[in-house]
Chain A
């Protein structure tokens, strides 16, 4: 089975490195990292991910704006996005059924299993 391609957009470098390590260690994923929100669209075009994990609060560009641009891009608009958020609690996310305003959310800190499950729900 082909590995699922995950684009991880988050300004916290050490976190992206570790998530990449952990996801790739499961043998199911190929992970690419982008630490700048402004470069996310370019990175996505180049990498052609199956799913994008996107941080909500980034210094150069908010996650919501990055998502907006991804959706405006013909080639990328159908790629599912999961937001990673530090300001919403896991409980609130799960009470809301995993989506807030139609978007999918994961509350930081996430563990590896939660990531794998969430990706599995959207990429088959």
Chain B
């Protein structure tokens, strides 16, 4: 038999006043033994339970530490990557925005936390495509990769390619989303530039060929018409000479289209000088003033008198502004309208930019043609004198200046054209001149 358990000993003493169980009647023995056994057994059980409890609490602790460590790593990752990370709650409010997002957009944490993401920070807003994607993610747990355009604090737009994952609580219920996105704005711009360059090369190749093939027949037509006009006496007939004149004009018009095409394809011969944009704008207008006055088109000037100089080819800029003024005026109805010209300086990535905005009160650009207005020969004025080379030439010239052009419609109607010219430092200017030879 096992030694008598201390608890059994104590109870024998208290209730029966015996020290030694051997002094008790022998028929009690099996009973006492099984009680003794039970005490020992319960001791063993207790030890086991205690052990296992101790173990599991250690495990819990280490699991907890692990989770914390994982969380910490994830956070460090999100804090340091050059990727945008945004966490939203179930309702699409911002719960987390990483430093890269804040740096990219210029918002502070206080600006964004708790705010409705789609309403405030996404182009297209609530109900827009991305908001719908968010709802789809929440409802069907389907994780599409998608792109959208987010707004910076200064209103500039950045295109982001997003990957989104669902966040759940311990019970497995969905509590929101975490999205990581890449800013692909510059990549796209570069791609677009490459496409543009490719286009320009193709046009240049085409232009030479087309010019030769078309100008010869035009020359034949012109010489033939001239022969009729000079050599034939039409007597009283006024109709035939008028028709011949019309035909002559048509030939010259065709020739001017070829000329535009050749202009577009020419390697740039720039004569760059530091200039103030304001007088170039005013001079462009003076060239058109008579025509504009007749058509009740008024200009409103908002020129910044303290505009810094930019390095540009004055003649080429005249052409830019004339093309844009013409487009604006051609978009106005019979009653005329107002063209607002505004110049200003803004801070940009590499320094400063001179911005010129030309707004009109015309028809605006039909949304379905917006993507094509810079394509050579795209025009909605076919048969009314439009060749569709105005904006391609403008874009070309802006690119030659390292500048940009953006066109959109105004909420109030009419078009909004924004030109940006980089303000280069003096030494960069000198380099520019050296390149010019």
Contact = CB atoms under 8 A, between A and B. Distances in A.
Interface in B246-266: 251, 255, 258-259, 262-263
Contacts of A15: 216, 219-220, 223
Interface stretch (A65-73, A74-82, A84-92): A84-92
Contact of B211 (A14, A18, A86, A111): A86
A86 B227 contact: no
Interface of A: 12, 14-15, 18-19, 21-22, 25, 57, 86-91, 108-112
Given A89-B258, A108-B215, A108-B218, 4 more contacts: A15-B216, A89-B263, A108-B219, A110-B222
B231 interface: yes
Nearest to A12: B216
Interface string B270-300: 0000000000000000000000000000000
B196 interface: no
The listed residue with most B CB atoms (<10 A of its CB), out of A90, A108, A111, A112, is A108
Nearest to B254: A109
A87 B262 contact: yes
Given A22-B230, A87-B208, A108 B216 contact: yes
B249 to A, nearest CB: 13
B227 A25 contact: yes
Contacts of B262: 87-89
Nearest to A89: B259
B363 to A, nearest CB: 32
Contacts of B216: 12, 15, 86, 108
A107 to B, nearest CB: 8
A39 to B, nearest CB: 19
A109 B263 CA distance: 16
B255 A87 contact: no
Contacts of B208: 87
Nearest to A107: B215
B50 interface: no
5 contacts: A25-B227, A87-B212, A87-B262, A111-B226, A112-B230
Q: Which of B208, B215, B223, B227 is most buried by chain A, counting CB atoms within 10 A of its CB? A: B223
A86 B226 contact: no
Given A25-B231, A111-B226, A87 B211 contact: yes
A18 B220 contact: yes
A88 B208 CA distance: 9
A86 B210 CA distance: 9
B106 interface: no
A12 B227 contact: no
B224 interface: yes
Contacts of B227: 18, 21-22, 25
A22 B208 CA distance: 28
Contact of B226 (A87, A88, A108, A112): A112
Interface in B162-185: none
A22 B215 contact: no
B259 A91 contact: yes
Contact of B219 (A57, A87, A91, A110): A110
Contacts of B218: 108-109
Nearest to A25: B231
